[in-house]
Amino acid sequence: MSESCTVGRYLVDRLRQLGLEHLFAIAGDYSIEWLNRYVAPSGTKIIEEVNEVNAGYAADGYARMKGIGALCVTYSAGALCAVNAVAGAYVEKVPLVLINGTPSVKKTIVFEQTGFSAHHFISGRETDLQSFEHLTVAAVRIDNPDLAPALIDHALTRCISERRPIYIELLQDMVDLECEPPRGVLKPARILSDETSLEQSVARICAKLESAENPLVWLGVEIDRLGLQDKALSLIQQLNVPFVTELLSKAVLSEDDPLFVGVLDGQASSTVVTDLARTSDFVLALGVWLTDINSLGWDPDYDKTAFASFDAVKFGTFFGGQVALEHLIDGILAEEIAPKERKLPEIPARGVPTVSDTDVITYQGFYDYVQQYVDRNTIVGADASMNYFGSLLLDVPSPGGFVVQSSYSAIGYSAPAATGICLAKGPGQRVLVFSGDGGFQMTAQCLSTQTRLGLDPIVFVIDNGVYAVEQWLADAGVFHSDEPFYKPCELHRWNYSALADVFGCRGWEVGTYGELGDAVTGALENSSGPSVIQVRVPQKTIPDNARWKAH
């Protein structure tokens, strides 16, 4: 070896080169030596979480802000608890690194040959690896120090290239063994396009942009995942056409931009947005993913919409394969299409609603009221719940200021994800999380980690006592009648604000707008830890843009 390096140090050095400053972890005897001897001295801050799924969601939120996130767990009993978080990151293209501390080669062979089991074993060396092969773009087992550098580099390169999770199985007896030191700096693999497909796609789209009287640009989540915000903004400004986003890409560009109209999300969209989509004669959808969450009772007009995503262009009967989104935008920009002269639709001004301090808070009223606290220093997180609808119409002026897991839609994601977001955010920014009570019950321990670290998210728990979104999906008519909720949708009621006493943070319980205003004022002044605001709303109130699904 030309320089002294070990497998444990190699992995740490590579992660630091990629910009990782915090590592989320759960203590386990198969991984603790690596954490203690290599991660801690490196300057990477270890964030000790309370359980693996919260650690995974926190690392996911961190990765969305920083470009990479990582968590370290222990074999099987720990790793398999993180499956849901890794699956969500895979679906939503989040670059997440799962490091799984694993029993030694000797323990594995003894188990496989004699049946003498080490704790956490299920079926030997393949259990965890095979589980994560389906949820990652690379799954590697580090059981030889000479192969470790190549395996680690391969997995991390796949992670930053494909923007998806990877799995690294780090055997406990490999950590201190010598290996070659890192060479150079890891970079994403080159993006490739088929020249013929690219030229045809650019030509077809530019022809439509030039001939269309009322074109519209629809920006999707891949603009964020691939770091194409500046190029997308340049294109919109060059064309001088209005743009909309999807829920998953809300606030990918500033919503203060004069060309921004709103979020196009089926019948949950504002009337201004649906009218614009209906009257536009050509829609250029860049990086948009089609899911049931961003259609919601509405089907795109495929004859007038060109979809560029997943390395392909689809427009009517035209298909252009192997067309990278970045190359497509570059090609359209290079054509320098003359800007359109088009009057933008008028967007109604939003002000603070006129309510009495003693009025009971409704679901829609809550969002109308809380808008005044969302500014350019605010990052909003919305959980899988009826909060999708309320937050969809919020004005979020900060680019990248909205985080949602709406494609995978695991309830309980947003509150623990706020841990990672708080660690990755810029100075002066504040995180507001809107959670349903059902989802919050799944991951409430996040308050413990946030309190211990002095993080200051404001977590609003909308307390209506039911899994309202599940009821809405199954039978929304219940919200417009005297019919009871489905029994599986009913929750055991918690005193959410009292959890502040358990975890050592601040808490408020509110049911009127006066109480809500006092609570938010107090929470904004609390910068030493998290604030949980329990917002009681009548069970059958829902956001206005969810009322279309009555039956």
Residues 52 and 145 grouped into a single domain = yes
Which one of 315, 335, 355 terminates a domain? Answer: 335
Residues 249 and 142 grouped into a single domain = no
- Residues 233, 239, 242, 246: what is their CA dihedral angle, to the nearest 10 degrees? -50
How does DSSP classify residue 383?
-
Residues 167 and 270 grouped into a single domain = no
Q: Are strands 243-245 and 260-263 parallel, antiparallel or unpaired?
A: parallel
**Is residue 454 exposed (0-12), middle (13-18) or buried (19+ Cβ within 10 Å)?**
exposed
In a domain, residue 208? The reply is: yes
- Give CA–CA dist 215/521, Å, rounded: 43
Residues 150 and 223 grouped into a single domain = no
Q: Is 173 annotated as a binding residue?
A: no
How many domains does the chain fold into? 3
Residue 277 tokens, joined: 């989509």
Q: Which H or E run contains 130?
A: helix 127-133
Q: CATH number for the domain including 516? A: 3.40.50.970
In a domain, residue 228? The reply is: yes
Residue 102 tokens, joined: 């694993």
In a domain, residue 178? The reply is: no
- Give CA–CA dist 136/286, Å, rounded: 25
In a domain, residue 348? The reply is: no
Residues 373 and 312 grouped into a single domain = no
Residues 144 and 212 grouped into a single domain = no
Domain that holds residue 301: 195-335
How does DSSP classify residue 35?
I
Residues 479 and 445 grouped into a single domain = yes
In a domain, residue 256? The reply is: yes
Residue 196 tokens, joined: 């013929």
Residues 370 and 261 grouped into a single domain = no
Residues 55 and 143 grouped into a single domain = yes
Residues 210 and 68 grouped into a single domain = no
Q: pLDDT tens track of the chain, all 551 residues?
A: 447 899 999 999 999 999 999 999 998 888 999 999 999 999 999 999 999 999 999 999 999 999 999 999 999 899 999 999 999 999 999 999 999 999 888 887 777 788 777 777 777 778 899 999 999 999 999 999 999 999 999 999 999 999 999 999 999 999 999 999 999 999 999 999 999 999 999 999 999 999 999 999 999 999 999 999 999 999 999 999 999 999 999 999 999 999 999 999 999 999 999 999 999 999 999 999 998 887 777 888 999 999 999 999 999 999 999 999 999 999 999 999 999 887 788 887 777 788 999 999 999 999 999 999 999 999 999 999 999 999 999 999 999 999 999 999 999 999 999 999 999 999 999 999 999 999 999 999 999 999 999 999 999 999 999 999 999 999 999 999 999 999 999 999 999 999 999 999 999 999 999 999 999 999 999 999 999 999 999 999 999 999 998 75
Identify the CA nearest to 170 among candidates 183, 184, 151.
151
- Give CA–CA dist 37/482, Å, rounded: 62
In a domain, residue 182? The reply is: no
Q: Is 240 annotated as a binding residue?
A: no
Q: CATH number for the domain including 266? A: 3.40.50.1220
Identify the CA nearest to 291 among candidates 396, 191, 388, 197.
388
pLDDT at residue 551 in the model:
54
In a domain, residue 351? The reply is: no
In a domain, residue 263? The reply is: yes
Which one of 298, 316, 335 terminates a domain? Answer: 335
Which one of 317, 335, 353 terminates a domain? Answer: 335
Residues 408 and 259 grouped into a single domain = no
Residues 34 and 154 grouped into a single domain = yes
